[in-house]
Structure 1
Amino acid sequence: MPPDRRNPPDGFAPASGSSRPKNTKFKPPQPARKSPPEAADDGQLPDASQSDPSPTIPPKLLSKILHEQFEDERTRISKGANAAVGRYMEIFVKEALARAVEERKKGDSSAGGAMRDPFLEVEDLEKVAPKLLLDF
């Protein structure tokens, strides 16, 4: 049976004669913000696979960092490119932290004891940096 074009399913508006104003944009629902995972009292680090909405790198800061590295001071970067680099940097940082947590768990479990503390040290990031840079 062909679909009834006079009565579209809920959530769909007809192509012509739409009741929605023409200049409005659809805004998808925003996910509820979760509180950051707390470190357990038993010395366990939060699971690296848990993804919660985290703060992003401010576009002005990212632009400043990029412009510090440009050889020609007249070099410009578009907002879209800046956003893409920002997303890349977020992924890079999250991956670095996830790898450092896993490396830390391996090191602490092989030492025969519980985790020293729930915080990462600079050394934990230094251990994963070479392979991380090669992978990216």
Structure 2
Amino acid sequence: MTEEYGALFKKKTIQCILQSFFKDEKTKMTNEAIHLSRELIGLFITEAIMRSCKEAEKDSTTTVSIEHLEKILPQLLLDF
């Protein structure tokens, strides 16, 4: 993912979120695993925004609302 597009998250933020789900506190993540997780989350967010924008266009509006996100969310979760 290029830095011009998409959502970017701090490495430490992703690491903390993922480690909160580990059962063993001693579990470590490599830098590569954190980087790939960061890329995947960024792609997921970008795709959600793009789909919500298309849904707003269908409704002939220039404002994306929570309703647009709610409409695309089930299919987005199935796709990912």
TM-score of the aligned structures, taking structure 2 as reference length: 0.84
1:101 counterpart = 2:53: yes
Q: Unaligned 5+ residue runs, structure 1? A: 1-50, 109-114
Identify the residue that residue 57 of structure 1 maps to in structure 2. 9
Identify the residue that residue 128 of structure 1 maps to in structure 2. 72
Identity of paired residues, percent?
31
Matched to 1:72, the amino acid is D
Q: CA RMSD in A?
A: 1.9
Identify the residue that residue 88 of structure 1 maps to in structure 2. 40
Deviation at 1:120, TM superposition (A): 2.1
CA offsets 1:31-63 (integer angstroms, 9 cap, x no match) = xxxxxxxxxxxxxxxxxxxx8714610000011
Q: Who wins on radius of gyration, i.e. which is larger?
A: 1
Deviation at 1:127, TM superposition (A): 1.0
Distance 1:67 1:123 in 2: 31
- The count of aligned residue pairs is 78
Q: How does 1:15-54 map to 2 (within 5 A)?
A: 53-54=4-5
Runs of 4+ in 1 over 4 A off after TM superposition: none
Greater relative contact order (Cα < 8 A, sep 6+): 2
Deviation at 1:71, TM superposition (A): 2.1
TM-score of the aligned structures, taking structure 1 as reference length: 0.52
Matched to 1:53, the amino acid is E
